């Protein structure tokens, strides 16, 4: 079966506990297969084989690959934003900036297939583009609130800074985790890259090196 990203979402219906487990099992298998194969090579059979179920079971819960990948992308951002809410605010500003970006890098690095899918398809699919834009805005507004609380910037100024720095950070994430740019990979792992991003944010916000 060809990798078909077109199609309309399947009508959602209430599932039994067994149905929910089957559906979740397919999503886990899809995430693992996507991380291994990438979205251009992924087939429904790859997912059902990993889940050890018949192909027909996939279509009981999902219309096509596009639908399950959209849901995986939504799940990724939901989990990421839930993680950031747990980050302590009673720490030094640099530490908070480091912590929030490290959480993002770890989540994205554990889901390279979904991240590549988001970057690769956002320009061609309104659905993927919307998922990225909506959730990136939630992220940026969260950081903007932090900037406003730690400085004398107005709400508008803090948001403008968060939007611009957020866009720059998206480029770093893409180059580091998707393109695997040598210049960024040589920096180190998620800890080191998060530190470099946090330093960039801190210097821009407070106009001085981090403590």
45-to-34, 40, 198 alpha-carbon distances in Å:
12, 14, 42
Q: Is pLDDT at 145 greater than 70 in this prediction?
A: yes
> What is the rounded distance in angstroms from the CA atom of residue 187 to the CA atom of residue 24?
36
Question: What burial class does residue 157 get, using C-beta atoms within 10 Å of its C-beta: 0-12 exposed, 13-18 middle, 19+ buried?
Answer: middle
> What is the rounded distance in angstroms from the CA atom of residue 185 to the CA atom of residue 187?
5
Q: Is pLDDT at 12 greater than 60 in this prediction?
A: no
pLDDT tens figures, 113-131: 999 888 877 656 688 889 9
Q: Report the mean per-residue pLDDT for the chain.
A: 91
Q: Is pLDDT at 40 greater than 90 in this prediction?
A: no
Q: Confirm whether pTM is higher than 0.85.
A: yes
Helix axes 65-85, 112-121, angle to 10 degrees: 110
Instruction: Tell me the domains of the chain and their CATH numbers.
Output: 17-65 (1.10.10.60), 67-206 (1.10.357.10)
How high is the pLDDT of residue 8? Answer: 43
> What is the rounded distance in angstroms from the CA atom of residue 22 to the CA atom of residue 56?
12
Contact 77, 173 (CB under 8 A): no
Q: How confident is the model at residue 92 (pLDDT cuts 50, 70, 90)?
A: very high
How high is the pLDDT of residue 118? Answer: 87
- Please state the rounded mean pLDDT for residues 122-141: 86
Instruction: Give the other-Cβ count within 10 Å of 132's Cβ.
Output: 17
Task: For residue 147, give the nearest of 163, 169, 127 by alpha carbon.
Answer: 163
pLDDT tens figures, 146-163: 999 999 999 999 999 999
- In degrees, rounded to 5, the angle at the alpha carbon of residue 84 between the alpha carbons of residues 155 and 209 is 65
- The phi-psi region of residue 85 (left if phi > 0; otherwise alpha if psi is between -120 and 50; otherwise beta) is alpha
> What is the rounded distance in angstroms from the CA atom of residue 66 to the CA atom of residue 69?
5
How high is the pLDDT of residue 3? Answer: 52
Contact 204, 164 (CB under 8 A): no
> What is the rounded distance in angstroms from the CA atom of residue 6 to the CA atom of residue 147?
41
> What is the rounded distance in angstroms from the CA atom of residue 117 to the CA atom of residue 72?
10
Question: What burial class does residue 137 get, using C-beta atoms within 10 Å of its C-beta: 0-12 exposed, 13-18 middle, 19+ buried?
Answer: middle
């Amino acid at each position: 079966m060809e990798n078909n990203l077109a199609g309309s979402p399947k009508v959602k219906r209430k599932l039994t506990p067994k149905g929910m487990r089957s559906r979740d099992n397919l999503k886990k298998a899809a995430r693992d297969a996507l991380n291994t194969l990438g979205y251009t090579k992924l087939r429904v059979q790859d997912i059902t084989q990993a889940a050890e179920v018949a192909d027909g079971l996939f279509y009981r819960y999902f219309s096509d690959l596009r639908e399950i990948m959209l849901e995986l992308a939504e799940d990724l951002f939901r989990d990421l934003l839930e993680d950031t809410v747990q980050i302590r605010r009673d720490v030094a500003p640099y530490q908070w900036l480091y912590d929030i970006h490290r959480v993002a890098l770890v989540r994205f690095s554990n889901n390279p297939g979904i991240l590549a899918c988001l970057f690769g398809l956002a320009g061609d699919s309104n659905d993927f583009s919307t998922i990225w834009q909506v959730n990136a805005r939630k992220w940026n507004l969260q950081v903007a609130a932090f900037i406003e609380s730690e400085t004398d910037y107005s709400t508008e100024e803090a948001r403008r800074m968060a939007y611009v720095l957020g866009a720059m950070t998206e480029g770093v994430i893409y180059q580091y985790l998707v393109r695997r740019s040598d210049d960024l990979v040589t920096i180190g792992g998620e800890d080191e890259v998060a530190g470099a991003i946090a330093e960039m944010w801190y210097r821009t916000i407070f106009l001085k090196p981090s403590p």
